[in-house]
Structures are given as C-alpha cells and as structure tokens.
Structure 1
Amino acid sequence: MGEEEPRKNGSERTNKYAVACSIIGSIISILMGYDTGVMSGAMLFIKEDLKTNDTQVQVLAGILNVCALVGSLTAGRVSDWIGRRRTISLAACIFLAGSILMGLSPNFATLLTGRCVAGVGVGYALMIAPVYAAEIASAEIRGSLTSLPEICISFGILIGYVANYFLAKLPLVYGWRTMLGLGALPSAVLAVGVLAMPESPRWLVMQGRPEEALLVLRKVCNTAAEADVRLADIENAAGYANGNAPAPGSGGRGVFKEMFLHPTPTVRRILVAAFGIHFFQHLSGIEAVVLYSPRIFKAAGIATRNEILAATIGVGVTKTVFIMTAILLVDRVGRRPLYLSSLAGIVASLSCLGLGLTVIERSAPHHAARWAVALAITTVFTFVASFSIGVGPITWAYSSEVYPLRLRAQGASVGVAINRIMNAGISMTFVTLYKAITIGGAFFLFAGLAVVAAVFFYFCCPETQGRPLEEIEEVFSQGWSSRRRQHPPSSSVELPEPDSKARP
C-alpha cells in the first residue's frame, strides 16, 4: 500500500508540458472556426458587393469543405511521412495563402479560389490537431486534450462573429475583404511557432527512432519510469516485440490495404465506429445553424443587420462556454454518457426550433405569436449548447483515439474526409432544402436524423475513457453487445514493480 499510493498520485498529476503542446497544436483549429464564423456574416456583404445569387452563396459556403476533403485525404499520408509537427506547420502555410487570396479578391472567381486553397489547409488542420493531441496526452487527460481542437474551432467562430460585428462598419468594398483576410495573421505566426514543439513520440517510434521518442516521453510524462513503461507499450503496439516493426521512412505504406481490402473483424468494428461518428456529426444540422444563423434569426423575426450580427455573437459565446464545460467533464463522466445526453438535448431543441419556425412562417408578416418567436430564438441557443457539450468535442476526441497506431494518421484522414463531405453537403444544400420543405421542416428532419445517430452510437461505439491508446484495440476485439457492457479500467497509471509486469 505504501508504494501504490505514491504511484497513483504521481500518475494523476497533470503534466503541464503535455497540456501546453496540445494547446499549441490545437490552435490551428481556430483558423477553421474563424473562417466559418466570419463567412456567415461576410456573405451578407459579399452578396451585396459582388451581386451573387443564392446558388453562388451556397457554393461559396460549401466549397471550403469540398476542398478540405482533398486536404484531409492527403494529410494522413503526409503526416506519416514528414511528421505530425511539420504537418501542422504546412496546414498553417496553406491557410495563410488562402486568406491572402480571399482578402485581396477583386471578383467572385478569385474569392472562390481563395476559399478552395484555405479549404485544403482546413482539411490538414482538422486531421492533424486531434491526432497530435492524442499521441502526446496521457490516458487520464486524453479526452480533454483531444477535445481542444473543437474548443479552438468554437473560439474561432466567436472571433469571426465579433469581427463581423465591428468590421461591418467599414465601407462595403473593404469590410468583407478585411474580415476574410485577417485569418492570414495567426496563420503566419503559427506556421513558425509550431516548430518549437516536440514531435509525437508515437510517430518517432514508427520511424525507428525510439531514443528520440523516449526524450519526448520524459517531458510529457510525470516520471522517467512512467516514460519507460509507455515507450515499451508503444514499441509493442508498433510491432517491435514480434519483429514486425515498420521500416524507418516507410511513410505508412500499405495502411489503406489493411483498412479497406483485408480488414480484420477488430479493424472493421473500429472503422464503423470512427467513420460513423463523423458521418452523423453534421447530420444534426450544426453547420446549418452556425453558417446560416443570420437567416434563421431573420426568419425568427430579428429585423436589423446589427441585431442579427449581435445575436450570432451570442451563438458563438454559447458554443465556446459549453465546449469548455465538456472538456472538464469528458474524462470524468465518460464519452458515452456525455454523447448520448448531448443527442437527447439536440433532438428536443431541434423539434422545438422546427415548431417555432413553422408557426412563425405560417403567421402573417410581423404578427407571429410571441411565444413562437421566443421559442425559436431560445432553442437556437439550447441546440448549440447541447451539441457543444457532447457531439461536437467527442466526435474529434473519440475518432482520434480508437485507431491502432499503425492506422491512426490515415484512418483519421479518411474520417475527416467523411466529416467534410457531410459538412459540405449540409452547407451547400440547406438553403435549397428549407425552400423545398420549409425552414421548420428542415429542422424537424435534422431532429429525426439525430435520433438515428443516437441509436448508432449506443450500439456501435464502446467506452474508451481511461484506457491507454495501446489498449483500445482490445475493446473492439469483442462483439458489439459485450463491449457495451464493459466498464473502463481505473484511470491511474501503474508503474513497474519488481515482481509484476508493468502496464501504463
């Protein structure tokens, strides 16, 4: 007992260096959030300045995610080749180029080109930020740190909304260009600053550089003994123990074949869970609310442009506050309870939002019942809060931690690609959808899809809370029902004892 207590206390102490590295690596996600938030307001001015129609507005909103698909599909292989740290720097450089193009665009074609370039950078950022955080963090705080990219996205959205509100006062020709071009400043700083971070120890092991990996682990672990144990487990997961270690510089060759041509039952279950959670995230309608919140508030009866932009700032604040709450809860409550509770709130909020908007739409202009207006506006905020406390951050945390080491980068790459396809599909069709089935009907549809998402997650996604990355594959080696009944192990890290085999 005397030896066990110090070990437990040491393992539960949060390593500040690991937290700092994860925060810096996640800052790249602010750029993606800023672009989404600022575009929601900028579109009002772009439409007026460049005389765009609704189809062009939808293409402009969604093209970033289409191009993010290209970035995300290549990011996994690139990060296996050049490393996680350099991939973050590359993402910042690509986004920098896109922001400059958008800020200087004289016409719609140039603006669209800039959005495409920025989209490739977004694809890289969305894939690499949670993977880097997962590979740096310990099991006890991994849920919180891998959720950091989502809070950075939300913070970026909030900054974008604030920029819309204040820059709207500039002359029309400069206002929206300044809004979009501002993203270049943090991109330039991040592209250089991220090179001061350490490389992922798991990537170093995969490259046949365990000595360098040990140096990093001794910085991100609380004790040297803990670092030694974790290195041994990483080497075992990479195949060193049985002589199947990847060749240095292999760059992750053969991973797609293992995932899609000859997957084992365990890998197949992992792919269903990881890809499925990305598939359902945007079917909840979050992109429709965030990107088109000005239109929703206008439909709910908020009239002036300044009032609409001020209301969108409220959406950004709500999103950020509740994601911060999720970060505090995810490693205490667990992934499954938080995610399923979040979906329950989403279904209730979307149903009430659909009801309120339907009543408003069927009322005479400016004569809608006050309760319907209040219900519609209130449930926009409750929906964003419900999404942000579970579905938003846990999608990224869960999907970055379930893959085996050899598949993680390229598996996450495909997952992000699916996420971007769904995002683009919603953002590019929402206006057409609500014109076809009414805006209230659109949110009733999203509520029904959220119910399907809850059923999927309940049956296909086991709990991963408190498990080291190298042990999560074991959770998926059993059948669906038996895995749902499992309870996560104690979150403490056991360090080696003289007479027992050590596990991190």
Structure 2
Amino acid sequence: MAGLNAEKDVNPSSQPSAEKTLADFDPQKKPKRNKFAFACAILASMTSILLGYDIGVMSGAAIYIKKNLQISDTQVEILAGTLNIYSLVGSAAAGRTSDWIGRRYTIVMAGGIFFVGALLMGFATNYAFLMVGRFVAGVGVGYALMIAPVYTAEVSPASSRGFLTSFPEVFINAGILLGYVSNFAFSKLPANLSWRFMLGIGAIPSVFLAMMVLAMPESPRWLVLQGRLGDAKRVLDKTSDSKEESQARLADIKEAAGIPQECNDDVVQMTKKSHGEGVWRELLLHPTPSVRHILVCAIGIHFFQQASGIDAVVLYSPRIFEKAGIKSDTDKLLATVAVGFVKTIFILVATFLLDRIGRRPLLLSSVAGMVFSLATLGFSLTIIDHSHERLTWAVALCIAMVLLYVATFSIGMGPITWVYSSEIFPLRLRAQGASMGVAVNRVTSGVISTTFISLYKGITIGGAFFLFAAIAAVAWTFFFTCLPETQGRTLEDMEILFGHFIKWRSALKEAKLKDANAKAKANANGAETQSKAQIQLPTSSVAITSA
C-alpha cells in the first residue's frame, strides 16, 4: 500500500514537467499589443501632421494667395512645390543630427523649426517674405519626415512593427484632412486674411507636439550605440511583448552594434560611442551586396511613391475638380474635404492589415488599383476636355476616380513606403540611410508639385494622368521583382533577405529551410527530454516502494 501511495504521489509531480516540455513547442498565441510602445509611436508620428497640414492647406490657400498677391501660375507652382525641395535640407541634416543628439530631441527640433516657419508664412506681407517662411517650414518638415518612422521602427516589437511604423502616414493623412477643413473654415474671410489664417494656424500644433515628445523615452538602439546599455534595457523591457523578447532584442542590437554580449550596464565604458562616423562610406562607396540591394529598394519605393502623382492629386485637387466641371470655390474646397476624409479612412484600414497580410500583398494590390484609377481618371478628363457640353457621367467618374486613387494609395503605397524603408537598413546605417530615402521622396515630390500645372498645360490634364498611370505600372513591376517580404522579421535579421536582387526568393527559401531545421532540432531535443522523463518515472517509483 505504501508503495502504491508513493507511486501515486510521484506520478502527478512528474506529469506537469512532461506537459510543460510539450507546451513549449505549441504554437504561441499572438501577444497583446504593447501599450507603452503604442503610445511612443503615436507621439513620435504626430510630427508628420506638420507635412500633411501644409500639403492640405496650401491646396486651398493658393487660390486666395493668387488673388491677394496677384501672382502667376508659375509662382503658384513654385510656392506650393518648393517646400518639398527645402525639406531636403532637413531630411539630410536629420540623419546626422539624430545620430548625434538622439532621435527624441531631433523630433523636438522638427516641431520648433516648423513653428517658426508657420509664423513667418502667416505674417508674410509679400511673395518673397512668404517664400522665406516656406523655406523654414520645409526644413522642419524634412526633419519630421525622416525621424518619425525611424524612431517608431526602433522602439516597436516585431509583432506590431508594421502597424506602429505606419502611423507617420496616418498622421500625414490626418494633417491633410485638417488642412482641407481649415481651407473650408477660413474661406469666407476676406482674401487678404483667409490664407494667412490657413497657414499661420499650423504653428499651434507644432508647439504642443514638441512638448509632448519630451515625455517619450529615447530609442533603445541609439542608447546602445552610446554605450548606455542599462537605459536601453529599461526601454526594451517596457516596449517588448515579454522579458524574453526584451533580452533577445538587446542581444541582437549589441551584435549589430559590434558590442560584446558580456558587456552590460556595469561595464559601459568598454563600449564605443557612435555618432554616425563612416556611414556614408558604407552606404555609397563600399556597400556590401545586401546594403546595395537595401539602398536600391529604399530609394526605389520612395521615388515611385511620389512619381505616381499623389502630390499632384492632393495639392492641386481644386484645379482637377475645376477641370472636371466644378466652378464654385466653396464646392471645390468641399470636394477636397471628401478626398481628405477618404484618404484618412483607408490609411486607418491599412494600419490593421500590415502585420496580418504582409507588406508585399498590400503594396502590389495598392499599386494595381492606382494604375486603374489613374488611367480611368485620365480617360474621363480627356473626354471632358474634348466635349463642348457638360457630361454629368464623366464628371461623376472623374470624382470617383480621384477618391479611388487616394483610397488605393492610402491602403498600401502610402504607409508601406515609410514602414519598409525604416525597417530594412542595418542599425548603423538606419538613420542616414532612411534620410537618403526621404531626400529622394522630397526631390521627386518637389519636381511633380512644381511642374504639374506646366505639365498639364503642355500634354493636357488627361495626358498627365496617363503618364502617372504608366509610372505606377513600372513601379508595380519593380516592387514585384525586387522587394522581399519583411513581415515578422526582426530589424537585426533583415540583411538575410537582401543581396540577391531579383533572386531574393531563393535566399528566402534557404532562410526558411534553416528556420525549419532549427525548429525540427528543437522539437527532437524536446521529444528526447520528454522520453527521458518517462523512463526516469518508474525508476523513482521502485526506489520509493522498496524503501
């Protein structure tokens, strides 16, 4: 009896051990969204409102600036589009600044610079004064565009990085909508006051944004590069889904930064601080095959995002609706509010799909929708242009295609550009690599927005959109051929996907095969551990019974 009772006592104690061993290899549940990382991403990404507001508000303000200051269409083009060129200064400087003073204080700088620019534009007395304000605001926009996605990518856990890194695009769209609403709200004021209120009111949110950002922690990856391992660990503990993930992320960052794993917060003096020295040499002069592939993908996706005409549609939507047959200024501004609303709704949809569907499927379906809508918009505008009477169906089709275009852009091409380019660069190259992508983005946007009126006067407005449709078709081919899927990969594990250009699929298969082999080996070890536990069980029972 004693032996039987002892055996009963032993079996239950050993069973949980075996069950635990098996449970270790069960599929893990999707972790809950990290609220602290979510809050950090929200605060950092809100700086992107600055660009969106400026794009949206200038589309309507230009109508009243032209009337009040008596400027030409060419001057309107320069006024509207050169902010994107000026933002090059900010995006180029932001890479080095963020490596020097940190990601967080760079975001504060972006808000401060834009504040000054908005005030200068609001109080401008002539065209030259207005252009000075545009330059200052453009520098602030460049800082914000580069740093927000980089900070968000570095602070986000892998499980929700796509969702969180899409927030800058969400807030760009929110800013555009606010700009459109501001246009409509101030449109009833006299012409000499309306555009000043439209532009100057942008100074208010920039102050609050700069103050709120001070409550954020610094990027853990930047902290590691400065040798502040203890601070980095504390941030990672807060922004990771689990303690184990926090430890793994810290180990990966150390490895990427070239810091020995045995270094910790007690031996910080052993680590080498980095302020971005030698990065341009690694990016441009002597890049590895993987870095070269990454650079081509980052520059390519930024170029095609703007070359497919999004700023032409958003910035000149009142003119497009005028060409479609809407004559009243109020009706045109009201139609642009609808554009901003649709754009914002669909970017919100995209944020929830990025980590579920993946980057490639969303991007390719988005660009395919853009090709269709741009071609159909070109067709409808051409029909209207050659008709001597009002064609209601063509006007309705034109408006529907503008809305479809901004919807398909926002569900993929818009957010994925910022997500993808901020997550694929290696740690040391990330800030300045991302700034190169933003620079290309702003140059292309500047060229499109400063030449659109001249372009449609030269090849007709329908021809301009046929051209954008052709560029979008080339973009689809480039994305399908060269861009690998990055969903679920850690930032330190990206380089394995790159370096083969059009042959990236074979490299991905090899990586998946290695992962499968590693899991199979882990399962085999687990099964062996379980078998040993079952063999040891009767032995212990016999020993107790004999006793």
Q: TM-score, normalised by structure 2?
A: 0.87
Letter in 2 for 1:51: Q
Residue 324 (str. 1) matches residue 348 (str. 2): yes
Instruction: State which of 417, 426, 430 in structure 2 corresponds to 1:395.
Output: 417
Name 2:69's counterpart in structure 1. Answer: 50
- C-alpha separation in 1, matches of 2:508 and 2:496: 11
Larger radius of gyration: 2
Name 1:451's counterpart in structure 2. Answer: 473
- Pairs within 5 Å for 1:398-417: 398-417=420-439
Letter in 2 for 1:93: G
- Pairs within 5 Å for 1:250-269: 250-269=274-293
Q: Per the alignment, in what secondary structure is the counterpart of residue 297 of structure 2?
A: helix
Deviations 1:346-371 (A, max 9, x none): 0100011000000100111xx13222
Deviations 1:217-241 (A, max 9, x none): 1111133232112111111111114
Q: TM-score, normalised by structure 1?
A: 0.94
Instruction: State which of 193, 211, 233 in structure 2 corresponds to 1:174.
Output: 193
Query: How many residue pairs align between the two structures?
Result: 492
Name 2:307's counterpart in structure 1. Answer: 283
Percent of counterpart pairs with the same letter? Answer: 56
- Pairs within 5 Å for 1:46-445: 46-241=65-260, 248-364=272-388, 367-445=389-467
Residues 6 and 213 (structure 1 numbering): CA distance in 2 closer, same or farther, change over 3 Å? farther
Name 2:15's counterpart in structure 1. Answer: none
Instruction: State which of 7, 14, 28 in structure 2 corresponds to 1:8.
Output: 28
Name 1:462's counterpart in structure 2. Answer: 484
**Partners of 1:291 and 1:427 within 8 A in 2:** yes
Which protein is richer in helix relative to its size? Answer: 2
- C-alpha separation in 1, matches of 2:320 and 2:262: 58
Unaligned ranges ≥5, structure 2: 1-18, 527-547
Deviations 1:121-158 (A, max 9, x none): 00000000000110011111111111100010000000
Residues 7 and 337 (structure 1 numbering): CA distance in 2 closer, same or farther, change over 3 Å? closer
Letter in 2 for 1:401: E
Name 2:7's counterpart in structure 1. Answer: none
Shift of residue 8, structure 1, vs aligned partner: 2.8
- C-alpha separation in 2, matches of 1:113 and 1:329: 41
Shift of residue 249, structure 1, vs aligned partner: 4.2
Shift of residue 381, structure 1, vs aligned partner: 0.4
Shift of residue 247, structure 1, vs aligned partner: 6.3
- C-alpha separation in 2, matches of 1:355 and 1:63: 29
Residue 20 (str. 1) matches residue 36 (str. 2): no
**Partners of 1:459 and 1:484 within 8 A in 2:** no
**Partners of 1:359 and 1:368 within 8 A in 2:** no
- C-alpha separation in 1, matches of 2:241 and 2:436: 33
Letter in 1 for 2:430: R
Residues 13 and 108 (structure 1 numbering): CA distance in 2 closer, same or farther, change over 3 Å? same
**Partners of 2:259 and 2:271 within 8 A in 1:** no
Shift of residue 374, structure 1, vs aligned partner: 1.4
Letter in 2 for 1:397: V
Shift of residue 242, structure 1, vs aligned partner: 8.8
Letter in 1 for 2:96: R
**Partners of 2:95 and 2:434 within 8 A in 1:** yes
- C-alpha separation in 1, matches of 2:213 and 2:195: 29
**Partners of 1:101 and 1:113 within 8 A in 2:** yes
Letter in 2 for 1:4: D
- Pairs within 5 Å for 1:475-494: 475-478=497-500, 480-483=502-505, 486=508
Instruction: State which of 494, 500, 503 in structure 2 corresponds to 1:472.
Output: 494
Shift of residue 6, structure 1, vs aligned partner: 8.9
- C-alpha separation in 2, matches of 1:98 and 1:55: 22
